[in-house]
Amino acid sequence: MSEQTPPIERRSLGASGVSVSPVALGCWPIAGVSTLGANDADSIATIQACFELGVHHLDTAHVYGPSGESENLIRRALGNRRNEMVIATKCGIHYEGDLMVTDGRPERLRAECDESLRRLGTDRVELLYWHAPDPNVPIEDSAGALRELMAAGKTRSIGASNCSVEQLAVFQSVCPIAAVQMPYNMLQRDIEAQTIPWCREHHVAVMVYWPLMKGLLAGKLQRDHQFDERDTRRNYPMYQGDEWRKNQDFVEQLRGAAALTGHTVAQLVVNWTIHQPGITSALCGAKRRWQIEETAGAMGWTLTAAQRTLIDSAIAARGPAATKRLFS
């Protein structure tokens, strides 16, 4: 077997001319809101590790941290290497005190974009998402504001997150969409029915969050794991009662499949995800260097047909997991 590093794979962000790695770093955990033990030194080391791992896409948001902790850490970590990274941020949800508030009014989107650029220490990002629809604001108004931000050169492309295909169609009638961001993993595959076909038809990239189901599919949480009271994962149905037991049985099967590949469970899960039809990139959250080092190892190889069949039958036997939609 060759000792050479495999060529770094890149995939297109729709028709934007921007390309991204199939594994991206999700920068929500480093905000330190939903996860325990985040600290600046480890967060910066995690981001900086991406350069050598072939992970050239960072996903953040205006609302990742009450004071923009995630965007500020990205600026500090990248320093003068900012142009080597494709940065995506999101506008349309912000903090008010301890609460996350959805606000898609054009003036709010413009202000959040400007603040994100300041925090990131850049004059434009490669991708700016509409974080989520605001039921109080016509979609056309939010889309028009984002189109203007792109025309003003503040972002190279526009994305949309947490929306139905009907909402995507309205948005796209005003502003071209390069990427859609939705939850997706082995046990949460709703987007296969409508969103992925819509994105294929419109040449839009599909960026998926929760590929590890917030850590559950990384295979390291044991059956008797006691969640700290501050660990917000304990509020999700997949971490409770019968769902937790079924998910642990499923992870046990993944351990067997992973052993056949010579990779870890997290690498197997992310590899499967980035090779699913229509998927562009998996946004893998991490707050420690070793975590992104491990998930980056999902790139550069493929499952055999027999391994894939084994995994697909375990997924079919488990069926979709109970989940609760959350914007983070």
Ligand X SMILES: NC(=O)c1ccc[n+]([C@@H]2O[C@H](COP(=O)([O-])OP(=O)(O)OC[C@H]3O[C@@H](n4cnc5c(N)ncnc54)[C@H](OP(=O)(O)O)[C@@H]3O)[C@@H](O)[C@H]2O)c1
Q: Which stretch binds ligand X (CB under 6 A): 143-151, 210-218, 241-249, 299-307?
A: 210-218
Applying CB under 6 A, which of residues 116, 172, 281, 328 lies at the interface with ligand X?
328
Is 92 a binding residue for ligand X by CB under 6 A? The answer is: no
Closer CB to ligand X, residue 187 or residue 311? 187
Q: What is the smallest separation between the CB atom of 200 and ligand X, expressed in angstroms?
A: 20
Q: What is the smallest separation between the CB atom of 15 and ligand X, expressed in angstroms?
A: 21
Applying CB under 6 A, which of residues 130, 184, 209, 236 lies at the interface with ligand X?
209
Closer CB to ligand X, residue 269 or residue 311? 269
- CA 263 to centroid of chain Cα atoms: 22
Tokens linked to 192: 């296969």
Is 133 a binding residue for ligand X by CB under 6 A? The answer is: no
End-to-end CA distance of the chain: 42
Beta partners for 88?
59, 127
Closer CB to ligand X, residue 115 or residue 293? 293
Closer CB to ligand X, residue 33 or residue 311? 33
Applying CB under 6 A, which of residues 291, 296, 299, 303 lies at the interface with ligand X?
291
- The helix or strand, by DSSP H or E, that contains position 247, with its residue range, turns out to be helix 241-261
Applying CB under 6 A, which of residues 284, 298, 311, 314 lies at the interface with ligand X?
284
Size of the site for ligand X (CB under 6 A): 29
Are 87 and 58 contacting, i.e. CB atoms less than 8 angstroms apart?
Answer: yes
- The interface with ligand X within residues 256-275 (CB under 6 A) comprises 266
Beta partners for 98?
none
Closer CB to ligand X, residue 68 or residue 211? 211
- The interface with ligand X within residues 169-188 (CB under 6 A) comprises 181
What backbone phi and psi angles, to 5 degrees, belong to 185? -160, -175
Residue 283 CA to residue 288 CA, distance in Å, equals 15
Is 125 a binding residue for ligand X by CB under 6 A? The answer is: no
Are 251 and 212 contacting, i.e. CB atoms less than 8 angstroms apart?
Answer: no
Are 185 and 218 contacting, i.e. CB atoms less than 8 angstroms apart?
Answer: no
Is 161 a binding residue for ligand X by CB under 6 A? The answer is: yes
Applying CB under 6 A, which of residues 28, 171, 184, 250 lies at the interface with ligand X?
28
Closer CB to ligand X, residue 35 or residue 122? 35
Are 212 and 218 contacting, i.e. CB atoms less than 8 angstroms apart?
Answer: yes
Are 75 and 39 contacting, i.e. CB atoms less than 8 angstroms apart?
Answer: no
Closer CB to ligand X, residue 27 or residue 165? 27
Tokens linked to 314: 């375990």
How many other C-beta atoms can be found within 10 angstroms of the C-beta atom of residue 134?
Answer: 20
Tokens linked to 86: 């494709």
Q: What is the smallest separation between the CB atom of 118 and ligand X, expressed in angstroms?
A: 20
- The interface with ligand X within residues 56-75 (CB under 6 A) comprises 59
Helix (H, G, I), strand (E, B) or coil at 153: coil
Cβ-proximal residue to ligand X, closest one? 285
User: What residue spans of 5-163 are helical by DSSP H?
Assistant: 40-53, 69-78, 106-120, 139-151
Q: β-strand 23-26 against 86-91: which pairing, if any?
A: unpaired
Residues forming the site for ligand X (CB under 6 A): 26-29, 35, 59, 161-162, 181, 209-215, 218, 220, 266, 283-287, 291, 294-295, 327-328
